[in-house]
Structure 1
Amino acid sequence: MTFSLAARCARTGQLGVAIASSSPAVASRCAHVRAGVGAVCTQNVTDPRLGPWLLDLIAAGSTAPDAVRHTADTEPLVAWRQLTAVGAEGGPAAFSGEYALGLHAQSVGADCVAAGNMLRGEGVPDAMVEAFAAHPERALAQRLMDALAAGVAAGGEEGPVHSAGLLVADAVPWPVVDLRIDWTEGDPVAELAALWRLWEPEQDAYVRRALAPETAPSYGVPGDL
């Protein structure tokens, strides 16, 4: 009941995740990024603890494949989990446990990895990887949104999708993009794309407000965030 793509931008070093699900607030439980370290999804019957765990392993020197392999070998309930990871360097990795729900699949690209469960077709992750690779000149967040839209076009998941999220880490300790549609009866991927278009022109200004407020644009309101 979830499909996602974790990726890095070879050009900028950004790391990010795009994810959608029939469950509520999927990004709050399943998507994890850390600047300079990696991007991870832990989905299916989700254990949110595995996201920081995988990122800690990568930060300590493991490659993404080693981190996923170690987790698969040592986590006692891993048969219920679906994991993807990409580090700042090296190849991405994926794991799907034997109890992954419904039709499930995964696809690994040069700088990205996609996976899903309860899918309408096995080709959903492949379509996401292909869409992500199509325009390397675009911002990572846009490429992630392209991948998510391609997943929907390829069939998405069996049930109606109700939530979606977009998460990107850059050079600062907090995500520079953290956008969510936690529940809608409409089209959460389209709504997330609209939210990204609203956020994109403001993204750099919000970072400047944190690091150099004296040079940052302001709306002239004291205490403006």
Structure 2
Amino acid sequence: MTFSLVARCPDTGMFGVAISSSSPAVAARCAYARAGVGAVASQNVTDPTLGPLALDVMEQGAGAADAIAEIRRQGRFIEYRQVLAVDRNGATAIHSGPNSLGIWTQAQAQNVASGGNMLANQNVPRAIVDAYLDATGHIGDRLIAAMRAGLAAGGEAGPVHSAGMKIVDKVSWPAADLRCDWTEDCPIEAVATAWDIYKPQLDAYVQRAIDPREAPSYGVPGDE
């Protein structure tokens, strides 16, 4: 009931995950990323322990393929799980269990991997990967472009209701973690709107955490 991508920006080293589903709050359960390490999406009858497990393996120096191999070794009911990973070198790996729901498939390239289940057709992940590779600009812009392309290619078999995008950079917390947990409208466009608002402030929010004395004004009434 989900389509997603994990990605690395080769220019900045940022990692990102973008995801959408007919289920509520999909990004809260399925999107994982760690600065300097990688990004993981754990979906389809989701086991939320698999994202942190894959990141832990990659943080120890292993690549995405080794992380997915460890997922297959340690994961319970792995035949029901779909897990995507990208590592610090941009290598990608995917596990799609044979009990993934409905039409399910995957696509990958250097720096980006996509997978989905309960899809409208087999072309959705390839459209997502191609759109990410063709897009330019900030990784957040490229993630949004990829998700829009996946939706345009058919998306999920039914309407999607939640979406999210997580980006990590050089700090231990997400540089951006934007979600639409439920809407009857398009959740991808809701996240895109939030990104348009958040993007100009992203660096300032990080700087305020590191050293508020050097931060720009807060932009609220009463702030001088």
Distance 1:71 1:152 in 2: 28
Distance 1:220 1:79 in 2: 49
What is the match of residue 64 of structure 2?
64
After alignment, is 176-185 or 64-73 more displaced?
64-73
What is the TM-score when the length of structure 1 is the normalising length?
A: 0.96
What is the match of residue 156 of structure 2?
157
* Deviation per residue, 1:189-211 (Å, 9 max, x gap): 11111110000111011011111
Query: 1:76 offset after TM fit, Å?
Result: 3.0
Q: Read off the aligned partner of 1:145 and give its amino acid letter.
A: I
Contact 2:90 / 2:112 at 8 angstroms: preserved in 1?
no
Q: Does residue 126 of the first structure (1) align with residue 126 of the second (2)?
A: yes
Contact 1:79 / 1:97 at 8 angstroms: preserved in 2?
yes
Distance 1:59 1:212 in 2: 27
Q: Read off the aligned partner of 2:155 and give its amino acid letter.
A: G
Q: Read off the aligned partner of 2:113 and give its amino acid letter.
A: V
Q: What is the RMSD computed on CA atoms of the aligned residues?
A: 1.5
Q: 1:185 to 1:90 in 2, by over 3 A?
A: closer
Structural mapping, 1:73-222, within 5 Å:
73-135=73-135, 137-219=136-218
Q: Read off the aligned partner of 1:143 and give its amino acid letter.
A: R
Contact 2:18 / 2:144 at 8 angstroms: preserved in 1?
yes
Structure 1, unmatched stretches of 5+, are none
What is the match of residue 28 of structure 1?
28
Q: 1:189 to 1:90 in 2, by over 3 A?
A: closer
Query: 1:73 offset after TM fit, Å?
Result: 3.0
Distance 2:169 2:82 in 1: 25
* Deviation per residue, 1:95-143 (Å, 9 max, x gap): 10011000000001111000000000101000000000013x4100110
After alignment, is 9-18 or 67-76 more displaced?
67-76
Contact 1:63 / 1:90 at 8 angstroms: preserved in 2?
no
* Deviation per residue, 1:46-73 (Å, 9 max, x gap): 0001100000000112110111022113
What is the TM-score when the length of structure 2 is the normalising length?
A: 0.96
Distance 1:168 1:219 in 2: 22
Contact 1:25 / 1:163 at 8 angstroms: preserved in 2?
yes
Q: Read off the aligned partner of 1:186 and give its amino acid letter.
A: D
* Deviation per residue, 1:70-103 (Å, 9 max, x gap): 2113323101100000011151000100110000
**Secondary structure of 1:214 counterpart:** helix
Contact 1:58 / 1:87 at 8 angstroms: preserved in 2?
yes
Q: 1:213 to 1:153 in 2, by over 3 A?
A: same
Q: Read off the aligned partner of 1:159 and give its amino acid letter.
A: G
Q: 1:209 to 1:43 in 2, by over 3 A?
A: same
Matched length:
223
